[in-house]
């Protein structure tokens, strides 16, 4: 029985093929040297969360966020103007808002 669960979990037949392709493509991007180097340089130049900074808070940035997602605008993946340094909570909040929006769109 555990083998069967493992098999079903790794095959992922229930997910959409297109979704998986998108995921694979953006995952690949995040493992490339140009991105890893740019991310490190961006965080060195912008060590504080830009959104918290806008409201006067000083919080260390942990994520380099793409304002336009790589899967929707791959040509902007290495464009510094499309990047934003975010702390963990701002990054999570953004992810939650995006998820919520998607959920609402599916509801209506």
- Note the residues at the interface with Zn ion (CB under 5 A): 49, 51-52, 59, 87, 90
User: Least distance from C-beta 57 to Zn ion, angstroms?
Assistant: 7
Question: Residues with Cβ < 8 Å from 41, sequence gap 6 or more?
Answer: none
In whole angstroms, the minimum distance from the beta carbon of 58 to Zn ion comes to 10
Q: How far is the CB of 52 from Zn ion (least distance, A)?
A: 3
Of 64 and 90, nearer to Zn ion (C-beta) is 90
Query: Which string of DSSP letters, residue by residue, matches 13-29?
Result: TTS-HHHHHHHHHHHHH
């Amino acid at each position: 029985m555990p083998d069967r669960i493992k098999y079903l979990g790794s095959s992922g037949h229930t997910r959409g093929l297109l979704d998986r392709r998108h995921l694979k493509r953006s995952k690949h991007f995040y493992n490339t040297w140009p991105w890893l180097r740019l991310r490190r340089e961006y965080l060195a130049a912008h060590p504080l969360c830009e959104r918290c900074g806008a409201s006067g808070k000083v919080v260390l940035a942990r994520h380099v966020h793409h304002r336009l997602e790589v899967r929707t605008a791959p040509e902007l993946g290495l464009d510094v103007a499309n990047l934003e340094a975010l702390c963990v909570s701002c990054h999570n909040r953004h992810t939650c808002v995006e998820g919520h929006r998607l959920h609402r769109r599916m509801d209506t």
